[in-house]
Amino acid sequence: MTRDGERLIELVNELGSRVGNVLSDMVPPSAQVHLLNAQRELITALVLIYEHRVTTGGPPARRRAGPSRSPRKTPSRRRASRVSKIPVE
């Protein structure tokens, strides 16, 4: 794991613990357990997404739509003219 990934985990854990301390008075203990499990799963998902992006170089680049290479050309549709504004009384 990269140093940036470790720092990201530390930051998310710190934020989670601070929010947990603030909400501990308002949230029942049984709900706190569920929230902690959800937090752990979210952190794991974020780390996996981050590592995947770092190791693969990010999302694939979008290709531009170039001229069609097929011998047949499809007839182009004519766009309708734009509708003008309608005055409201």
Q: pLDDT 10s digit of each residue in the chain, 89 long?
A: 678 778 877 888 888 788 777 777 788 888 888 888 888 898 888 888 888 888 887 566 666 665 555 555 566 666 667 777 777 77
pTM above 0.75, yes or no: no
Block residue for tokens 């470790």: 6
Where do runs of H (alpha helix) occur along 1-89?
3-23, 29-56
